[in-house]
């Protein structure tokens, strides 16, 4: 019996290896994904956001403000438009992402201690740019408004030290935990690469049943009286081992070469990925048992694998999605995996906390494999 299982598993390895397309997809897809995404996010933090300043006042005070904005972190002043319309045009064309408009009577209002309004505009069409630009602009505006306030108090006869103390009496300190520099690469690179990996694995798993029953060689298995369970377990074991084998170079590159964070021990991360690979395989197997032919199975695989990352709650909170979508997301193992790897990479919540994720994988696998078995038993 063991020799049969080993022979079936060996043949499955041959099958995957000798199918050139499948081999290249599995071997190079996730690795290439990791390299591309690491390259894309190599700057890690969005710096040098192109910004324009429209100084409509041209006073000494406004010049000083321009100087301060120029010194702001993450903003790069690339244009000085003469008017509001010119600034609007620059933002529309995408030449700049952020803009500052200093009003005409800025210096005068400031000297008279009258309220003045400096407008800060951000191009919201690109969310990533917009978020970063807003953050950079807020940082500038906080500093400048404090400086202006201190100056106003001094102008009203309050001692400079007292004026400064008045503004510093309540300090609001921002501190990002787990990813202090808000490094994009740390957040998305591994997840995006593993998204490619899970897509490749789903497509492979979608061939588990239909790849066999749809081929004429199925007659051999049936006429030999090979137990379906033995055949299935042997094939599945070979596939899951292959999934993990192609993930290992990705893990090595990510953690050892690119130094992406992994707070938990590697064993926990590996076992977590193994549990996910099994649950993912069960979903692929279910799709494979429903499908009538391999093309049909591949379509099912694409429908499951492609949107799964988006609905996993990794890039947009699950809680902000409609209730029905949340339910669908929680049925998918990808949701548990991507949420889980974020925890493992940044927080190391420990085995006890992660046990609920393992349990989710176990339930998904048990349900999908059982339903597949029922369908296959009825069909064959």
Partner 1 sequence: MTPLINVKDLKQTIGKQKILNGLSFMLSAGECLGLFGGRGAGKTTLLHILAGIDRFKSGSVEILGCDIRKSEAFKKRLGLITQERSLFRDLRAYENLEFIAVLKGAGTENITALVKRFELNNILGEPVNTLDAGVYQRLSMACALLNKPRILLADDLINDIDPRSQHIILRELNSFISGGGSCIWSFSRIEFCRATGKVGWLENGTLSLYSPQEAQELWDSRLRLIEQQSGENDA
> Which residues sit at the interface with partner 1, rule CB under 8 A?
3-4, 7-8, 11, 14-15, 18-19, 215-226
C-alpha to C-alpha distance for 97 and 91, rounded to whole angstroms:
6
In angstroms, what is the minimal distance from the CB of 76 to partner 1?
56
The minimum distance between CB 291 and partner 1, in angstroms, equals 19
Q: How far is the CB of 26 from partner 1 (least distance, A)?
A: 15
Which ranges of 171-227 does DSSP label H, i.e. alpha helix? Answer: 184-205, 210-213, 218-224
Which residue lies nearer to partner 1 by CB, 43 or 379?
379
**Nearer of residues 198 and 242 to partner 1, judged by Cβ:** 242
Q: Nearest CA to 51 among 85, 88, 100, 86? A: 100
Least separation in angstroms between residue 226's CB and partner 1 is 6
Beta strands in the chain (DSSP E): 49-55, 75-79, 98-102, 119-122
18 or 156: whose CB is closer to partner 1? Answer: 18
In terms of C-beta density within 10 A (0-12 exposed, 13-18 middle, 19 or more buried), how is residue 341 classed?
Answer: buried
Give the shortest CB-307-to-partner 1 separation in angstroms.
31
Name 79's bridge partners: 52
Q: Which is nearer to partner 1, 19 or 64 (CB)?
A: 19
d(C-alpha 151, C-alpha 107), whole Å: 13
CB of 377 to partner 1, least distance (A): 12
Pick between residue 57 and residue 212 the one whose CB is nearest to partner 1. 212
Identify the bridge partners of residue 49 per DSSP, sorted by sequence position. 75
Using alpha carbons, list the distances in angstroms from residue 298 to 129, 149, 198, 222, 229: 36, 64, 14, 24, 23
- The H or E element that residue 96 is part of is none
Cβ nearer to partner 1, comparing 215 with 257: 215
Q: Which is nearer to partner 1, 8 or 298 (CB)?
A: 8
Work out how close the CB of 216 gets to partner 1 at its nearest, in angstroms, rounded to a whole number.
4
Please report, for residues 11, 24, 106, the alpha-carbon distance to residue 117 in angstroms, rounded to integers and kept in the order given. Answer: 73, 59, 8
Q: Alpha-carbon distance 241 to 233, whole Å?
A: 12
Beta carbon nearer to partner 1, 234 or 289: 234
Pairing of strands 98-102, 49-55: parallel
What is the sign, positive or negative, of the torsion defined by CA atoms of 196, 199, 201, 207? negative
Q: Smallest distance from the beta carbon of 225 to partner 1, in angstroms? A: 4
- For residues 226 and 375, which CB has a smaller minimum distance to partner 1 in the complex? 226
- Cα–Cα distance measured from residue 111 to residue 107, given in angstroms and rounded to the nearest whole number: 6
Asked whether the beta carbons of 81 and 220 are under 8 A apart, the reply is: no
Q: Provide the token pair at 202.
A: 């789903």
Work out how close the CB of 205 gets to partner 1 at its nearest, in angstroms, rounded to a whole number.
17
């Amino acid at each position: 019996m063991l020799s049969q299982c080993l022979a079936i598993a060996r043949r499955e390895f041959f099958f995957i290896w000798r199918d050139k397309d499948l081999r290249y997809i599995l071997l190079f897809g996730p690795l290439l994904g990791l390299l591309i995404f690491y390259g894309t996010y190599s700057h890690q933090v969005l710096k040098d956001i192109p910004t324009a300043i429209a100084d409509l006042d041209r006073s000494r005070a406004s010049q000083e403000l321009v100087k301060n904005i120029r010194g702001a972190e993450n903003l790069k002043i690339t244009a000085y438009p003469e008017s509001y319309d010119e600034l609007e045009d620059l933002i529309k064309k995408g030449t700049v992402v952020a803009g500052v408009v200093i009003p005409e009577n800025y210096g005068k209002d400031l000297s008279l201690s009258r309220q003045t309004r400096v407008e800060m505009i951000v191009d919201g069409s690109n969310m990533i740019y917009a978020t970063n630009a807003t953050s950079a602009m807020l940082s500038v505006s906080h500093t400048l408004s404090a400086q202006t306030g201190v100056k106003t108090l001094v102008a009203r006869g309050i001692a400079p030290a007292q004026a400064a103390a008045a503004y510093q009496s309540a300090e609001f300190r921002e501190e990002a935990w787990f990813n202090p520099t808000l490094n994009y690469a740390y957040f998305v690179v591994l997840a995006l690469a593993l998204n490619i990996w899970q897509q490749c694995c789903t497509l492979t798993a979608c061939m588990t049943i239909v790849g066999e029953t749809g081929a004429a060689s199925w007659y051999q298995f049936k006429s030999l009286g090979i137990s379906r369970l033995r055949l299935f377990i042997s094939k599945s074991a070979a596939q899951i081992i292959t999934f993990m084998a192609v993930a290992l170079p990705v893990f090595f590159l990510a953690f050892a070469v690119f130094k992406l964070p992994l707070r938990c021990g590697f064993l926990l991360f590996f076992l977590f990925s193994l549990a996910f690979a099994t649950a993912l395989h069960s979903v692929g197997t279910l799709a494979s048992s429903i499908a009538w032919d391999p093309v049909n199975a591949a379509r099912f695989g694409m429908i499951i694998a492609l949107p799964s990352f988006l609905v996993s709650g990794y890039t947009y909170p699950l809680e902000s999605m409609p209730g029905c979508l949340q339910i669908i997301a929680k049925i998918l193992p990808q949701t548990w995996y991507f949420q889980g790897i974020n925890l493992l990479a940044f927080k190391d919540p420990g085995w006890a906390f992660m046990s609920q994720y393992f349990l989710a994988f176990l339930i998904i696998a048990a349900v999908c494999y059982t339903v597949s078995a029922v369908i296959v038993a009825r069909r064959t």
